[in-house]
């Protein structure tokens, strides 16, 4: 079920009608949300639904054993984290591990006896497991609430407008919203409609256009393209990821608002960053915050001196790379970002030692922005290529300006420019939409939104936007 499909829209509308008709009965509203969430997941991944159900029940029971007031809570926390990592390891990393072991054994002429498992990664399992780990850790620490019952925890884990690609929510933010009494009507429909329109434009129009005009094919066969074409495609893919993922987040945050839920912001103009450190404060913010809270700080953060801090940064970004997928390209991508964070930290210390706290005015900020965007684009090659051979072939072709092949596509150029521009001005346009619609009666807000949807339907390129993060 595609997020821009009529089927998904029908599910949302039916769930909304039932949800608000029952606004006097909060328990019934929760069951409506759970039914919609289970129905949605059954439509996109029916075979994986039992896995998600077992994981939900297991994490709820484990969470009941945790808390600073409970004896032997450390043991149950270890078991809970191991359970979630074991699920991920089995479904996401087992075959990668097996292939790696086979490769090592083959060097000596042998072969491992590890069986081949035909497992399909359940959609959203990575997001669900990381959210469950944050719940268990926060419950153990006493910094987050414990779910009062299985229904509330199931909603915490499986809300259909948050399940598949996040944002990763903390229990302290989401559980109180699940348990709170319902309002009579959604409080900010104008803002919700604006976020939905923003998300649909980025996904239905921009990401779909970029996907269908050379972005995907080039990483599979870079030798078919000229160097200039590959440079544009590299930038286009970087913009496509932003439009795809941030568009999804806008769409789901808007839908969540219609149900009375506030999901955390996940993107804040990431391609305006002037350093890699700033980039990770703006890109996939719920995940980068998770990495900081549950990987970087437990490793020691900056408490172990400069060398220890740099080591912890690289390990954290290695985990970030592994989370994205079981492939060496993701691992290299993560390590490169860890090294870049270290270089930026060291460069900042060097400047501070010389009394230079500013970034050097407009010229310094412009150079910082250019270098950051270039680094992000170049490392995306490892992220997007199916294997390392293809990635290195892409890098080699980038430097060969005499090679012949397919050049830049005009639609690709236009879509890249619009997507990059949206990164800078999209929040202002969204604020303008809210100012236009919010003061009006609800029927006028719906009419404005319907007109925007019609316009988006007319200008969409006709292809579905493939969600790059859908399988994570």
Q: Is 140 an annotated catalytic residue?
A: no
63 Cβ contact list (under 8 Å, min separation 6): 80, 135, 136, 139, 146, 147, 153
pTM over 0.85: yes
Of 95-99, 135-139, 282-286, 401-405, the poorest mean pLDDT is in: 95-99
Q: Which of 247-251, 344-348, 407-411, 430-434 has the lowest mean pLDDT?
A: 407-411
Asked if 341 and 277 touch (Cβ cutoff 8 Å), the reply is yes
Of 373 and 358, more confident: 373
Q: How far is CA 34 from the centre of its chain?
A: 22
CA distances from residue 216 to 208, 237, 238, 420 in whole angstroms, order as listed: 11, 8, 11, 18
pLDDT single digits (tens) 440-449: 888 888 898 9
Q: Tell me: pLDDT of 329 over 70.
A: yes
Q: Return the domain boundaries, the chain.
A: 6-179, 189-274+359-459
- Report the alpha-carbon distance of residue 31 to residue 33 in Å, rounded: 5
Residue 145's pLDDT is what?
A: 93
- CA–CA gap between residue 377 and residue 263 (Å, rounded): 28
* Structure confidence at residue 459 as a pLDDT band (50, 70, 90): confident
Rounded to whole angstroms, the Cα distance separating 74 from 67 reads: 9
217 CB-near residues (< 8 Å, 6+ apart): 224
Q: E strand or H helix at 267, and its extent?
A: none
Q: Which residue has the tokens 């719906």?
A: 446
| Cα–Cα dist 418/202, whole Å | 10
User: Whole-angstrom Cα distance, residue 226 to residue 406?
Assistant: 6
Question: What count of Cα atoms within 13 Å lies in the side-chain half-sphere of residue 363?
Answer: 1
| Spatial distance between the Cα atoms of 79 and 385, rounded to a whole number of angstroms | 36
Of 414, 377, 428, 398, nearest in space to 273 by CA: 377
The DSSP bridge partners found for residue 406 are 225
State residue 406 phi and psi, 5-degree precision: -75, 140
In this prediction, residue 407 carries a pLDDT of 78
Whole-angstrom Cα Rg for the chain = 23
Would you say the C-alpha torsion 226, 228, 233, 234 has a positive or negative sign?
positive
Catalytic, out of 284, 324, 337, 344: 324
Check residue 406 and report its DSSP letter. B
| Residues 6+ away with beta carbon under 8 Å from 302 | 308, 309, 312
Average pLDDT, integer, range 28-49: 92
Q: How many helical (H) and strand (E) elements, i.e. helices and strands, does the chain have?
A: 21, 0
Please identify which residue in the block is written with the tokens 């990763």.
168
Alpha-carbon distance 311 to 338, whole Å? 9
Task: Give the pLDDT band of residue 106 (cuts 50, 70, 90).
Answer: low
Asked if residue 364 has pLDDT above 90, the reply is no
pLDDT for 464 beyond 80: no
Return the pLDDT at 318. 96
């Amino acid at each position: 079920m595609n997020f821009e499909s009529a089927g998904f829209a029908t599910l949302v509308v039916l769930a909304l009608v039932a949800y608000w008709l029952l606004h006097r009965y909060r328990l019934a509203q929760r069951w409506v949300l759970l039914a919609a969430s289970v129905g949605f997941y059954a439509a996109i991944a029916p075979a994986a639904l039992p896995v998600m159900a077992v994981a939900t029940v297991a994490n709820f029971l484990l969470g009941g054993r945790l808390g600073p007031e409970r004896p032997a809570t450390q043991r149950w926390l270890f078991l809970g984290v191991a359970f979630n990592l074991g699920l991920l390891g089995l479904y996401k990393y087992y075959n990668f591990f097996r292939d790696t072991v086979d490769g090592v054994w083959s060097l000596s002429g042998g072969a491992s006896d590890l069986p081949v498992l035909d497992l399909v990664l359940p959609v959203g399992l990575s997001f669900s497991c990381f959210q469950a780990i944050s719940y268990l850790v926060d419950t153990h620490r006493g910094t987050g609430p414990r779910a009062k019952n299985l229904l509330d925890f199931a909603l915490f884990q499986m809300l259909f407008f948050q399940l598949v690609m996040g944002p990763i929510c903390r229990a302290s933010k989401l559980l109180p919203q699940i348990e709170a009494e319902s309002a009579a009507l959604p409080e900010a429909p104008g803002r919700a409609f604006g976020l939905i329109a923003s998300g649909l434009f980025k996904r239905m129009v921009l990401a779909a256009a970029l996907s269908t005009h050379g972005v995907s094919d080039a990483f599979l066969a870079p030798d078919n393209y000229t160097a200039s074409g590959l440079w544009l495609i590299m930038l286009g893919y970087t913009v496509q990821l932003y439009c795809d993922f941030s568009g999804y987040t806008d769409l789901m945050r808007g839908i969540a608002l219609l149900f009375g839920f506030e999901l955390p912001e996940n993107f804040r103009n990431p391609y305006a960053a002037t350093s890699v450190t700033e980039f990770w404060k703006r890109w996939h913010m719920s995940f980068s915050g998770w990495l900081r809270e549950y990987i970087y700080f437990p490793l020691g953060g900056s408490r172990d001196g400069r060398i220890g801090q740099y080591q912890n940064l690289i390990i954290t970004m290695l985990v970030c790379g592994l989370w994205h997928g079981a492939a060496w390209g993701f691992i290299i991508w993560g390590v490169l970002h860890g090294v870049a964070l270290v270089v930026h930290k060291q460069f900042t210390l060097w400047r501070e030692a010389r009394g230079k706290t500013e970034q050097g005015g407009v010229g310094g900020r412009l150079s910082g922005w250019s270098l950051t965007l270039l680094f992000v684009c170049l490392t995306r090659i490892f992220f997007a290529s199916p294997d390392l051979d293809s990635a290195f072939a892409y890098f080699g072709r980038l430097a060969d300006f005499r090679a012949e092949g397919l050049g830049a596509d005009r639609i690709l150029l236009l879509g890249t420019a619009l997507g990059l521009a949206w990164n800078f001005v999209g929040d202002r346009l969204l604020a303008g939409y809210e100012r236009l619609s919010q003061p009006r009666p609800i029927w006028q807000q719906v009419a404005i939104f319907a007109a925007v949807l019609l316009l988006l339907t007319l200008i969409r390129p006709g292809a579905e936007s493939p969600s790059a993060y859908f399988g994570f």
